[in-house]
């Protein structure tokens, strides 16, 4: 079975940093708690803790996969035609992983055990090969992306809100 981390390295990281935009996915632990919708201004993904906004459905579908896998940061191809080309295979790999996990855990009755097994499986299939291109954060500092709140800042906001 082809792994998502390998596909990501092959199809996304191989594009080079000038063709990629970085997106922070803070508020990530959202297995089964995501919802994607279109509104007047674009596309949104709602998680239990956050709402992420996107300009296109392709970007939202792409990021939804990585949110569900538990990734905190993802690089997105800026060429929407290329993104449309690679997205179906990426969605297939995620769907196939969910099927395998679901079938493998049918006889496990403990919710926490199923949850832990799902997380460990997602981590395993998300491993990026060591020989994949690496980009350090300094190179993306001027990528034009808005800086997202860190998870700590978000937690502080929640504490203030409910204080």
What are 123-158's pLDDT values in tens digits? 898 998 888 887 755 444 333 344 444 445 545 544
Answer whether residue 62 shows pLDDT above 90. yes
Mean pLDDT of 32-36: 77
Q: What pLDDT does residue 78 have? A: 93
Q: What pLDDT does residue 31 have? A: 58
Looking up tokens 């992983």 gives 97
Task: Show the domain range for 71.
Answer: 4-161
Work out how many domains the chain is built from and give that number. 1
Looking up tokens 């395998």 gives 100
What the block records as the tokens of 90 is: 């990426």
Q: What pLDDT does residue 81 have? A: 95
Pairwise CA distance, residues 58 & 113, whole Å: 33
Q: Among 58, 51, 105, 121, which residue's Cα sits nearest to residue 84?
A: 58
Pairwise CA distance, residues 79 & 98, whole Å: 28
Answer whether residue 90 shows pLDDT above 70. yes
């Amino acid at each position: 079975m082809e792994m998502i981390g390998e596909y990501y390295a092959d199809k996304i990281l191989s594009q080079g940093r000038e063709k990629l935009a970085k997106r922070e996915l803070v508020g990530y632990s959202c297995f089964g708690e995501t919802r994607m919708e279109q509104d007047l201004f674009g596309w949104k993904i709602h998680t239990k803790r956050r709402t992420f906004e996107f300009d296109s459905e392709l970007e939202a579908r792409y990021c939804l996969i990585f949110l569900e896998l538990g990734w905190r940061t993802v690089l997105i191809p800026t060429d929407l035609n290329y993104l449309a080309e690679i997205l179906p295979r990426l969605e297939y790999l995620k769907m196939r992983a969910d099927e395998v996990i679901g079938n493998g855990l049918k006889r496990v009755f403990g919710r926490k055990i199923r949850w832990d097994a799902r997380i460990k499986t997602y981590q395993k299939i998300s491993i990026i090969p060591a020989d994949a291109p690496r980009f350090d954060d300094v190179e993306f500092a001027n990528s034009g992306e808005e800086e997202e709140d860190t998870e700590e800042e978000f937690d502080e906001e929640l504490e203030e809100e409910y204080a």
